[in-house]
Structures are given as structure tokens and as C-alpha cells.
Structure 1
Amino acid sequence: MPRIPLITADQSTAEQRDLLEQTRRQLGRVPNLYAALAAGPAALRGYLALRDALAAGALDARLREQLALLVAHENGCEYCLAAHTLRGRRMGMSDEELAGVRQACAAEAHPHAVLRVARQVIRSGGRLTDDQLAEARENGMTDGELAETVAHVALNILSNYYNHLARPDLDFPSAPAVPDADDRPADAPERSARHQRNGSLNWREGATVALADGYHLTDGTGEAVSRLSDVRVAFEGGFAHVAVPGVDAVQVVSAPAVQVVVLRA
């Protein structure tokens, strides 16, 4: 049940009506989040101003939407997960791609780096290590993009946290759950997303897989390792699916995270 009433056109100040009309012109309607945030006109005006400023920045619309989805996932914001899943689908993102984004995975190196930096910022409070920053730059992130990524995290934390506080009714289709969602604490080693076995993939037997620095798979003993031998591997949709003996779930990493794959002849 909503804990902060929605501001409507007939129960609003002139400033609130102006902000709601601005939202309606841009989005075609006024989502409940915006109607709730209008309770504090300065907050809504600031949110819209930062959002519009970032829309004119270096990161394209697709990546901005992916960042919003990732931040919502990290913060467990049901409302924003629903909104940005819908928008991502309308941009042509598949369900597999959307699930990968929520685990900070993308098929191409640059957006993958941006998503990883965003997650590192959230989990560390912005305290990235020198190695993490160097890795981001090696994958093409400029200083301007680093600044904008932090700004996108801040923008979406604002909407996530306010949703947690206000609890507006959900006016978007619910987002699907992501299997085995990564809910480890910020200081835990990063591991790949894991999904259930998919028999429709084109599997290759007896492969050796080595990942780039900072990426890990789980071996049959439960240890995080960067190299595995005698595994099954399949590639689809920009992701590598790795089936490890003794591990029930297929492990999925984005293709740019894979440094070497040796296939049995």
C-alpha cells in the first residue's frame, strides 16, 4: 500500500502541475513514482534535471537503460526493475540480455566495463581499487564516462530509495526473477551468473576455458577459479555457457570475459 499519496493535477500546486505536465509530455503518462516524488517538487525537479542532463551525455540510451536496470537489481527495487525491464524490451533487448545486465554482464567489452564499474561503485561506495580502475580504462572507458557512470548510479539510487520509502503501486508489468541472483556482500569475490542447464545449446565437450583477470567460475569443489579443463561449453547471444562436472547449474559469463577457449578436436 502506498505510504505517500500520489500528487494529482486537481490536488497540486502550480509548481507540481508544471512538473507533472513536463513528465506527461516526455513519457506519455505520469508513472506513480513521479506522482509520488512530486510531493517534494524540488526533489522531482532535481531528478528530472539530472536525468535530462545525462541523456545528453556520452552514454547512449541503451546503456543508460541497462545502468538503470542494474542499479535497480542491486538495490532490490521492484518498481524500477519492472519499469526498466519493460523499457529494455521495447529497445529490443532479449530476456537473456536483460538477465545478463542484472548481473553486470554485456556482450561487448565497453558496455560490460561500464556495468561492472557501476556495480563496483554501488558495492564499494565508490572505492574502486587501482586495478579495477585500470581495467575499466583498458576496456575503453574515458574519465568522462567514469564520471557519468557514477552520476547514473546516483540518479537511480534516488528513484530506488524513494520507491522503497513511498511504496507507490506498481504500474508496470512485474519483472521476472533472475535465477540464482547474485546477492553476495560487497567484499565477496565476483562470480559469474549461474543459470539452469539448457539442453537446446550447441555444446562442445572436453573444453578448457580461461577467463580474464577478475572473473571466476566455480569448480566441482565449490572453489572460485579462473581456469577450468574438461568442461562443456556453448556460446549463444554473446554469452559463454559453461557446464562443470559436479556443479548442477550452468555458469554463464559474457563473451568478453573469456580469454581462451581450447576445444577438443
Structure 2
Amino acid sequence: MTGKPVVPPIEYEAASDEVRAVYDDIMRTRKVDWINNFWKVLAHDPALLRRTWEDLKQVMAPGALDPLVKEMLYIAVSATNGCEYCIYSHTASARAKGMSEAQLMELLAVVGMANQTNRLANGLRPPVDPQFEPRG
């Protein structure tokens, strides 16, 4: 995903009060002093920025899944979808949460294998085994 952005990032100093409020919450929640470019381009639509941030904050909050597992899942989906920005962003976040290089490589091996077997299953359409179906 190289090249120029579709819309230029909106820096904090140029942001509306509504956008600054979201930027402030992002920095406070993440305990950082900067806003990454993903949020800066979403700022062209303040409602989209706010909604996306609130949803992400809720989904990535502590829950049944460990925070590192959530970041690794984000990497897996981002790799499958080919989102370079999200791969870099969530790999950095996962590393900050303790992910090792061995874990990253194993994760990507699983992602590659899952994509391969998914494509084979989608193409061949084997019937789902009754043992795999949820029990009522």
C-alpha cells in the first residue's frame, strides 16, 4: 500500500474541536503523545472517526481474550486482507505486548495454511462432517 493517501492526514493543530476530542481520547487511552495516520485520514469524517474509535476501543478492551491474542488475530486478518498499514500497526502493538519473532512467524505460517486449506475446501465443497456441527 504505497503511494499517496487518498485524503491528506488532518494534524492535531488543524483539527476541529470534535476531532481533537477523539484524538485526545486516543492518546489518553493508548498512553501516547501522538496520533497515527489512520485516525488522521478518518478525521475527514468526524462521525466515522468517532464511531470507528469507539468500536475499536470496545473490541480491543480487556475481555475473555488476552490483549496479545487480540493483536495477533488482528495481524492474521490484516495479512489475509492484504492491509499493509494494519499489518505494521498491529505487529508493532503485538511486539509491545510481548510477541516474539518466533510467535509472529508461527502466526503467519498458520495464516498461510488456513488460507490454503480454506481455498481448497471452498473449491472442493466437501460436506461438513456431523461431528463438527454444534450440538443443540
TM-score, normalised with respect to structure 1: 0.39
Using a 3 Å threshold, how does the CA distance of structure 1 residues 14 and 77 change in structure 2: closer, same or farther?
Answer: same
Q: Which amino acid aligns with 1:75?
A: N
Give the counterpart of 2:90 among 71, 80, 84: 84
Aligned length, in residue pairs: 115
- Unaligned regions of 5+ residues in structure 1, if any? 106-180, 191-265
What CA deviation, in whole Å up to 9, does each residue of 1:205-247 have, x standing for no partner? xxxxxxxxxxxxxxxxxxxxxxxxxxxxxxxxxxxxxxxxxxx
Distance in 2 (alpha carbons) for counterparts of 1:51 and 1:189: 31
1:52 aligns with 2:57: yes
User: Cα RMSD (Å) of the superposition?
Assistant: 2.3
Aligned to 1:99: 105
Q: Which has the higher strand share?
A: 1
Distance in 1 (alpha carbons) for counterparts of 2:42 and 2:52: 9
Aligned to 2:16: 13
Give the counterpart of 1:32 among 34, 37, 43: 37
Distance in 2 (alpha carbons) for counterparts of 1:47 and 1:95: 29
| 3-state DSSP of counterpart to 1:188 | helix
Distance in 2 (alpha carbons) for counterparts of 1:85 and 1:49: 21
| Matches for 1:70-219 after TM superposition, within 5 Å | 70-104=76-110, 181=112, 184=116, 186-189=118-121
Distance in 2 (alpha carbons) for counterparts of 1:185 and 1:4: 37
| 3-state DSSP of counterpart to 2:44 | coil
Asked whether the equivalents of residues 19 and 38 of structure 1 are also in contact (C-alpha less than 8 Å), the reply is no
- Unaligned regions of 5+ residues in structure 2, if any? 123-136
Asked whether the equivalents of residues 20 and 38 of structure 1 are also in contact (C-alpha less than 8 Å), the reply is no
Q: Which amino acid aligns with 1:51?
A: L
Distance in 2 (alpha carbons) for counterparts of 1:80 and 1:19: 20
Which shifted more, 47-56 or 11-20?
A: 47-56
| 3-state DSSP of counterpart to 1:25 | helix
Q: Which amino acid aligns with 1:81?
A: I
Q: Which has the higher helix share?
A: 2
Aligned to 1:195: none
What CA deviation, in whole Å up to 9, does each residue of 1:90-135 have, x standing for no partner? 2222212112223447xxxxxxxxxxxxxxxxxxxxxxxxxxxxxx
